Structure 1
Amino acid sequence: MRVLISIIHSGQTEEKPKAEVTIKPAQHVFRGDTATLRCDINGEGVTKTLWHKEGLTSVFSELQEHTFSSVNESDAGKYTCYGSNGSDWSQISDAVTLTVSERPKPKVTIKPAQHVFRGDAVTLRCDINHEGVTSWSYSWYKEGSTSVFSDRQEHTFSPVKKSYAGKYSCKGSETEGSRWSQMSDAVTLRVSDPRAVLSVSPQKWLTEGDPVTLICEVYSFSTGWTFSWFTLTVSADNSHHYNLLSDSSRGAGGNYTVSSAALNHTGVYSCRAEREKPAYKTQYSNTQLLWVTGVSPPVSLIVGSSRTQHFTSVSLSLSCEDQSNSDRWRVRRYTDGGRLEDCSSLHRGSQTGSTCTISSTNTSDTGVYWCESESEAKYHSVNITVHLSGVILESPVHPVTEGDHLILHCLYQHTTSPNLRADFYKDGSLIQNQTTEMSITTVSKSHEGFYYCKHPERGESPKSWISVRVFHSESQICFLNILSSVLTVCPYLLVTVMLIFKCGRMRGKT
């Protein structure tokens, strides 16, 4: 016992000892924790204790140790005590503050991304922001398991396997103490195989001589990919073959450029990517159809219904016709679903000679159809669309020649009178309203564009592109050639005449 002797006059007095408050495990605790207040005098126990809390006038406890089994915010505050070892009481202690805060919630981050490719490296990190705890120990859990698979703040998977995909969460416990955090929200790690994606720039429909670029990309943060390009063909037994382009660059750049497209560039293309570290080769990419149009194809694809838009559950006939009426042509198609198919391989299709018949159309029949020779030369594509319901536009399959008479109808599937009274639009502008047919007596190049019809109750048809072909007779072509030659020579003739005239005037003066 600490004794202070002071001399006052001739007598001696002893100062009372001062009580001391301690809080375990710490003065700063989390809501729900256990906190114990203890009152000591000179480091020794006391037989009697009186506890006070700032703001309260009454004694709330007479125990030397007072425990809050589940602390909440109302328990926070400043506490004092004084005690007795016998008949005499100590001085009141200094106030000690108990702070109660919400239990911290960790945050899980995944770098470089939550979606990674098999073979890459990925790091999980657990962060707990709280000033009251200087050091944390970590526990990592994967959804579906109660066992801890890592005790580090950062855990790295390298290389990543597909089995590592799933939801991950973490929590922390005080390294030198008894406090712990909440469980974090789960964060999902997705693991997939790298996928090559093929696109075309500037467009898929080309004229001879146009430039075009195939672009192969792997959407990921990883680098080091090299690329190859292929054409997709269908053999007589309807099996698919990927043929590596002979001039296919295998460099790091994912572009394959054709500076001047030719007819033999028409086809279905695909690409794939590969890398060395970690070693991986992607599957073949999506496919893209490139179509190069010539001036005068040797064969025409004739559609039996003479329109490009069709309803489901109807019969559709497509024929390849050339001047010799030969049967060496087959109808093939490339669907919106990315399938390259021969007519004879279709579940509802059959090929007789050069004619393909689809017994009952389905929306999956939407795509590009063309005629293909035995040497795999492709000619005269037609874009066919099949619609489940609503209205469709009856428009010509092939380009309209300048000067022709053009008639468009709006058709509805479920009616005895298929021609609807509807509004007709060109490039989004109303051109005729409430009529059963739209008629253009003499077609010109200015009539080229996207057309559709709209019925107030049945709805709006898909858009159809109507192309106008400008035709010149042999005499017109001859006249244009002569006129072009004359215009080319005219400047030289004019200069010659001016020189002769000038020379004549100079001789006259002389």
Structure 2
Amino acid sequence: MRGNEANRVISVSQGGLYHCRGGRGDPVYYTEDSAAVTIQKQVLAAVKLQHSWSQIFTGETITLRCKIQGGEGKVWKYEWTAPNTNSPPTSSEYRISRVSVSHSGDYRCWGSSDYLLTGWSDAFRLTVSSSKPRATLTAQSSVIPAGGSVTLSCSVEGSAGWKFDWFRRDSVSSKAQLMRGNEANRVISVSQGGLYHCRGGRGDPVYYTEDSSDVTVRETLPSKPTVTLQPSWTQIYSGETVTVRCEIQGGEGAQWTYEWRAAKLNTPPTSNEYRIIRATESDSGGYSCRGRRDYFFSEWSDIITLTVSYKPKAKLRADNTAVPVGGSVTLTCSVNPSSSSGWKYYWYRDEKSSEALTTQDAVFHSNGQISVSQEGLYRCRGGRGNPVYYTEDSQSVRIGKTVTVSGADSSSSPVWLMVGLVCGVSLIIILLLLLYRCRQSKCADKPPDVIYSNIELENFGNKWKHHKAEQSAVYSEVKTGATEDSLMYAEVKQPKKEKAKKNKGIHKYSLHG
């Protein structure tokens, strides 16, 4: 290292086997070599975990490594101190297969090589968790839109270094199929419905987490269901029974489960029918549905609006209140508003009758009209659905009968009036002649007689307007009788058509005996 040094003291920074000797004179005289002195250089040692994660789980395989700074290229001998071990290794690695909680604790190492020596390293604290971790799978959405995709994310809480395996199955009973394996990316996109789960894996050999819980992802089919009402009317009244039905075109024969959106559904049904018994105003609102099958969803249907109103009352109308001789009256029953539909009508006569009229009692026309020829007190009500829902009874309408003699058309009244006048005058003349002859012959010794003749002529009304009987008949009456005086009266009366003409056509003839 050094020679002919006057200084008997030197400093060295390298480990090794050192000896010295002295020399003097010229030529130099050397002493015997000194005994060898071993100098070992101390370097730093540190325990490192081979993996990049510090959270260790039961069952993993781990490797601890003793690293010596500047010890490259040397052959080292190692010593370890560790919990729960009677025979620590003498190599730079401390490998623990299927680690358990008992392996938790402080680990130290030191190494020696020729004239190099380390001190004990600082303690490395190993913590082993008692439970095996479970992966967590989350979905951006549980429904894939038509033609779209959803994002799935897999994670293992509180630890690192994982790669992920992805699995899918078509049903609960089918076997899961590996979609992707050893994926460094914890996020994937899927466009197919199914039952998905994932797991994490790390290390060599690979240590796997517990499988995540299943996540159901349903694919939206392009078909859109239709909501219909049975019966088909949208105007529903309080107390009626109505069925809302979800129909999926092309979905016949498939096992669908249905979802409903409605204003009043605390426990929505899973069938394709929602039956409302004795509907109330609170059942009013919009109804829509969709179907799901395996891992497929239909789109939501368009909304159909149901309106529930108070119980309606039927309305009865008659085209006449009196039955003409040999004729009939037409009755019409209706339910307002006119937008409501599906009604059948029931007819009753007399207040206390609960038996509906039959074809023996009336002539039934189009729905809502009948013709009756009997007098009485009539009422009606509407009914629809199964079971039948009835409206309130209508107001009662009384139908009477008319007894009349129908004459000719009113346009011929002047002709008949002239005929009547001629006949009346002729009759009066005949009566006067008879009376005169009677007085001249047989009646001379008898008490005076009086002959009355009273002829009233009325206008003939239209034969169909039977309700104006006082202007549509001709009455004639001839009365004879005896009085104290021998008198004869004759009177012809024409009907009063106008105030200005009220005395025209009235003629009185008197003959005093």
What range is the shorter-chain TM-score in?
A: 0.3 to 0.5
Q: Which structure is larger by alpha-carbon Rg, 1 or 2? A: 2
Normalising to structure 2: TM-score of the pair? 0.38
